[in-house]
Chains A and B, each alone.
Chain A
Amino acid sequence: MTTTLPTTPAASVRRHGHSTVPRSAAMLIMGVSTVYFLLPLWWLFVGATKSREQFTDTQPLWFADLHLFDNVRELVTYRDGVFLRWILNSVAYTGGAALLGTLLAAMCGYALAKYRFPGREVIFNVVLSGVLVPATALALPLFLIFSKMHATNTFWAVFLPSLVNPFGVYLARVYATAGVPDGLLEAARIDGSGEIRTFFTISAKLMSPALVTIFLFHFVAVWNNFLLPLIMLSDERLFPVTLGLYSWNTQVNQVPELRGLVIVGSLISIAPLAVAFLLLQRFWRTGISTGAVK
């Protein structure tokens, strides 16, 4: 997923044209970064196509006999297909949390931008400070809270904390302030539209580029949130794919066969991220630049 990041500055350099950096130098830097970021992916892809024997004694960066399909078959049948279960879990945690989390962040940011009420700035500042608190620091306290309610080792133990996205609130507020004209809301009110209806039918549509951005950020954050499931979950059937592959990887000394499965599994597990990015990348760029101008 990181691979798409460096292309964004490249695009803007090209668009602005009159950059002080000579074009060729910029291209060179971009080329080097592209190789740098793509090389591990290439290694992963090549490694995933090899049989276990050939993995150690053939060139790491070039193909040997094609074994990809056998490897995939072994992966999805290993231990009753627990890998597929992990993928589904990840999709459920990530997709669900990103959708709901985006909605919550959008409503929250919109409310902060468009309604005047006492304590508004205080709340907004608290949210902003939430951006600074790393998710890792919250994992243990969350575990203790969920323990009090006997809710650790459940789907909700990972899902509910993942709904929260302070940066999304910030982004939604900035965007709503700029992108949703007060006059339009006034007009809607005069026409008799309720606040909720106004939000969904008018404001949310105006905010859609920001919503895509928030969704993508959130999607990546939840997909990569490793520590929370590690701490919360002890039932393998609830693991997201990141944690599942990690736990296999820690057993490689004992069960060396797992090394191959971890490599193929990693390749497959980055596919949803790549798909999400390719589909939503365009919106994301618009979203980022919009936020940056304000």
Chain B
Amino acid sequence: MSAFLRTLGVLLTSAVAVTACSSPDASPGGTGAAACAPSGGGPVNLAFTSWVPGIEEVVQAWNAKNPDIQVKVQTGPNGNGGTYQNFFNQLKAGNAPDLGQIEYDALPGFRVQDGLLDIGSCDIVAQAKDQFLPWTWDQVSLGDAKAAYGVPQDTGPMALFYRADLFEKAGIAIPATWQEYAAAAEKVKAAGGHITNFSQSDINQFAGLAWQAGGHWFGNDGQKWTVSLTDDKTTKVAQYWQDLIDRKLVSSVPPWTAEWDNAYNTDQAWTWVSAVWGANSIATGAPKTAGKWRVAPMPQWDAGQASAGNWGGSSTAVFKTSKHPYEAAKFALWLNTSDEALTLLNQKANLYPATKAGANLPALASGVAFYGDQKIYEVFAKASTQVPSGFTWGPAMTATYANASDGFKAAVSGKGTLTDALTGAQAFTVQTLKNQAIPVA
């Protein structure tokens, strides 16, 4: 009977659909070969899914000025919270939006499932390439210099947030290298705090640290993927933090919890090596410490070096099923290069631009009260030019993260080490790719 009722429901719906349906016809694979030409005749309607807070207002600004390319924006949970799975389902059903927000680490997954349109062949995209920081373009070209599987949107260049007042009171110099950071950690411990909180479940922070050190986790030569979560650079970083964990110089409160906020709010954690958006996390999580934080460049592995990690960031991708790749690319470029859009995105959602010129936005020039009026974005602007090129994400990062995160949690509670966790994640990732019939070297 349930089957009968369900059929009935379907029949009812089809009647509804005839009248209510206004979505464009969705036939999968309907795009031609050299697909990037303006579609002639009449205004174009594009659908765009993004979970950037306040994205509606940014899109409104576009719609007001572009009557011929109207964008309808849809919001929902973040990518790993369900939107990526929805994208995959919609691609299967042929009703994916034209454009979608996809984080850099998820982009290769969509690429191997053949869900994305290569808009690198659009002349407007090829021309815009030089406006972006080279390493951000790596994130969307995925190893093929001519390709672009999206337009870089925002980035998370990393720096060192530190409690200027506590460091001064304890007479500790601000560490410029990781050796100094470890030495400072001992003094901080002696002064009754922890130098930082090691992120046991959010592997992205560790990825940023490994990225800074020159680690390369994945590679793709066009045919096969290589997985190297345990390369020398990454192993060095893992051993460094394992040492701090072993000596109990860092705390390990789960990140993004009230407990974690509290550690920063009550002077228990003195620094945080984090991305530019972390500025807002501290300001809202630790309101009692207003005015006491400052930002310095990330500690370096060798004195005199200038390298920074990146933590987070998204692209605006065009899905394979889009009928209007040219218009979609045009909108994506406006969204991620125009001063107007970048300023709005920064105001509404603290996005930090991926373009070279973005660092000069007026919104990023002023001092921030929470950081004692320091012009903190100058530090991040520099950092964003120091992120090493060539870092590639893998095609199954969810699986990689989940496995590594289990290993990290175990290591933090004394079972195994971070290096063990990475070795495990390496084997697990290779196996996952093989199971998904993705060629692995």
Residues of A with Cβ closer than 8 Å to B? 52-53, 55-57, 60, 104, 108, 112, 123-124, 126-127, 130, 140, 143-154, 156-157, 160-161, 163-164, 166, 169, 230-231, 233-236, 239, 243, 246-247, 250-258
Contacts and interface: CB of A to CB of B under 8 A. Distances in A.
A267 B6 CA distance: 34
B13 A56 contact: no
A160 B76 contact: no
B89 interface: yes
Contacts of A145: 10
Contacts, number: 147
A144 B92 CA distance: 8
B96 to A, nearest CB: 10
A130 B2 contact: yes
A250 B261 contact: no
Contacts of A239: 76
A256 B284 contact: yes
B1 A151 contact: no
B284 A146 contact: no
Given A130-B3, A147-B95, A166-B2, A234 B76 contact: yes
A163 B5 contact: yes
B398 interface: no
A175 to B, nearest CB: 16
Interface stretch (B19-27, B208-216, B426-434): B19-27
Contact of A256 (B23, B76, B93, B281): B281
A214 to B, nearest CB: 14
Given A60-B258, A104-B5, A156-B13, A250 B280 contact: no
B256 A252 contact: yes
12 contacts: A57-B262, A57-B288, A108-B5, A112-B1, A164-B2, A239-B76, A247-B77, A250-B82, A253-B277, A253-B281, A254-B52, A254-B280
Contacts of B89: 140, 143-144, 231
Central interface residue in B6, B52, B288, by most chain A CB within 10 Å: B6
B9 A161 contact: yes
B347 interface: no
Contacts of B350: 254
B24 to A, nearest CB: 9
A169 B78 CA distance: 38
B285 interface: yes
Interface string B54-65: 000000000000
Given A147-B93, A253-B281, A153 B288 contact: no
B287 interface: yes
Interface of B: 1-6, 9-10, 12-14, 16-17, 20-21, 23, 26, 49, 51-53, 74-78, 80-82, 85-86, 89-90, 92-95, 97, 256, 258, 261-262, 265-266, 277, 280-281, 284-288, 349-350
A199 to B, nearest CB: 16
Given A140-B89, A147-B95, A251 B16 contact: no
Secondary structure call for the A interface: helix
A124 B1 contact: yes
Contact of A164 (B9, B14, B51): B9
Nearest to B256: A253
A218 to B, nearest CB: 13
A166 B1 contact: yes
A256 B74 CA distance: 21
B53 A254 contact: yes
Central interface residue in A52, A108, A130, A250, by most chain B CB within 10 Å: A250
Contact of A250 (B78, B95, B265): B78
Contacts of B13: 146, 149, 151, 156-157, 160
Contacts of B2: 126-127, 130, 164, 166, 169
Secondary structure call for the B interface: helix
B256 A153 contact: no
Given A130-B1, A164-B5, A247-B81, A154 B53 contact: no
A149 B23 CA distance: 11
A35 B436 CA distance: 46
Nearest to B351: A254
Central interface residue in B26, B81, B349, by most chain A CB within 10 Å: B81
A184 to B, nearest CB: 24
A250 B86 contact: no
Given A163-B5, A247-B76, A255 B349 contact: yes
A234 B1 contact: no
A136 to B, nearest CB: 13
A200 B92 CA distance: 45
Contacts of B261: 56
A144 B6 contact: no
A108 B277 CA distance: 56
A236 B16 contact: no
Contacts of A156: 12-13, 16-17, 20
Contacts of B82: 230-231, 246, 250
Central interface residue in B77, B85, B90, B92, by most chain A CB within 10 Å: B77
B437 to A, nearest CB: 21
Contacts of A251: 51, 53, 78
B110 to A, nearest CB: 17
Nearest to B6: A164
A251 B207 CA distance: 21
Nearest to A164: B5
Central interface residue in B13, B53, B350, by most chain A CB within 10 Å: B13
Given A56-B287, A234-B74, 4 more contacts: A150-B17, A151-B17, A163-B5, A243-B77
Contacts of B17: 149-151, 154, 156
B19 to A, nearest CB: 11
Contact of A57 (B12, B20, B265): B265
Contacts of A230: 76-77, 82, 86
A108 B3 CA distance: 13
B369 to A, nearest CB: 16
A249 to B, nearest CB: 8
Nearest to A51: B287
